Structure 1
């Protein structure tokens, strides 16, 4: 099984969230008094669909190769979560233009700064705390963050508990540390295709192309993907 990098030439035109804090089994117990108790067992894999938009020529071929490379869920992709509503606060300290380029030839440019946790949190925790620098104490409901280095996962703020202290969904895929971890506003996940969850349609241009993704947990990536 391979972990494939998403090509920068394949753009995304729409994002559809396919799950929230979903449940594998849920229901309601009703007492004779009429009181009800809802129960659920949590299944918290992130899942979303990307619409890829019309293409032709070289980009259409690259898109076709990308979809085929996923082998219907056998291989996984490094996918940056595209958040159309991502905060775009500007910090002059965060602009890097040092002359170096990525392997694909794109230049370094402006970006959002990273923020270190103010304390560590274990794998499986839903509570994180961030330092009071840049945007660390400014997150609000719905903001999406990730962590680095070597951390696959996207986390959505579901409660602001205190200044810089947040409840997130889903639970942490990997422990975070105050000394070696940084939070980022551009999270990267390992995602695989849902079986038959993609389209390859070609008319005058590619049309209706989409790909449905489901998260591959970080520990599974570390153990099985190369």
Structure 2
């Protein structure tokens, strides 16, 4: 059975470029006698991303080459936490905290940190799902709390627990109801939550999708092309 591995801590992405969308996977077109091109969109595409990692050396490069090697040219998949640099601000998302709390994190209720001396890191609130939706549904409804009623076209969201998927809002209906793309990879219900920090399962597109070459002084920027592995395929074919 193929393995599902985690991306190493500290392996930062410099740029992220989406390479496919609804019209790139499963789309098509027809040309009329008058040479007019009619394109056909498909709602069933999959994410395909190109990620660029910065110049690295020492521990950072060791983590990168170990991760790329473990992916085995696409045979294994990786958990890929998706960070949106254009995400709404903490205040817009409903996170109220002082500058010190944002910088240092939060202690336990007894004012003590974890045993390693680290505090809790702050994160934006989660939002409960308001109505159940089946796998492949493209309309969802969230509770109108925190950011649940504030999403707009272009916002990224995900779901948890145990849900691999990255979804973009493509239409707003009001009262926490939205159209998303791609369709849900897994059914959701009112026991689940939406998050602004989604996690994808992805694999290398091919053997040529990543390299781990290194110069004498350091490794140049590296480009990796990853394609989405659907949630239901992860559960059928991948293990830890």
Offset at residue 58 of structure 1 (A): 1.6
> Is the CA contact 1:97–1:109 (under 8 Å) kept in the aligned structure 2?
no
Q: Secondary structure at the match of 1:77?
A: strand
Offset at residue 30 of structure 1 (A): 2.6
Per the alignment, residue 161 of structure 1 pairs with 173
Per the alignment, residue 218 of structure 1 pairs with 231
- Count of equivalent residues: 222
> Is the CA contact 2:44–2:183 (under 8 Å) kept in the aligned structure 1?
no
Taking only aligned residues, the RMSD between alpha carbons, in angstroms, comes to 2.3
Per the alignment, residue 141 of structure 1 pairs with 153
What is the rounded CA distance, in whole Å, between the counterparts of 2:224 and 2:73 in structure 1? Answer: 10
Q: Secondary structure at the match of 1:213?
A: strand
Per the alignment, residue 208 of structure 1 pairs with 221
Single out whichever of 65-74 and 156-165 deviates more from structure 2.
156-165
Q: Secondary structure at the match of 1:24?
A: coil
**In structure 2, do the counterparts of structure 1 residues 56 and 185 end up closer, same or farther at CA, with 3 Å as the change threshold?**
same
Per the alignment, residue 199 of structure 2 pairs with 188
TM-score w.r.t. structure 1 length?
0.90
Establish whether residue 47 from structure 1 lines up as the match of residue 51 from structure 2.
Answer: no
Per the alignment, residue 92 of structure 1 pairs with 96
Deviations 1:131-153, CA, capped at 9 Å, x for gaps: 11000000011100000000000
Q: Secondary structure at the match of 2:66?
A: helix
Per the alignment, residue 58 of structure 1 pairs with 59
Matches within 5 A, 1:69-80: 69-80=70-81
Deviations 1:80-121, CA, capped at 9 Å, x for gaps: 11211112223138975433489xx96521101100111111
> Is the CA contact 1:101–1:107 (under 8 Å) kept in the aligned structure 2?
no
Offset at residue 199 of structure 1 (A): 2.3
> Is the CA contact 2:18–2:50 (under 8 Å) kept in the aligned structure 1?
yes
**In structure 2, do the counterparts of structure 1 residues 65 and 92 end up closer, same or farther at CA, with 3 Å as the change threshold?**
same
Single out whichever of 89-98 and 211-220 deviates more from structure 2.
89-98
**In structure 2, do the counterparts of structure 1 residues 107 and 62 end up closer, same or farther at CA, with 3 Å as the change threshold?**
farther
What is the rounded CA distance, in whole Å, between the counterparts of 1:209 and 1:141 in structure 2? Answer: 31
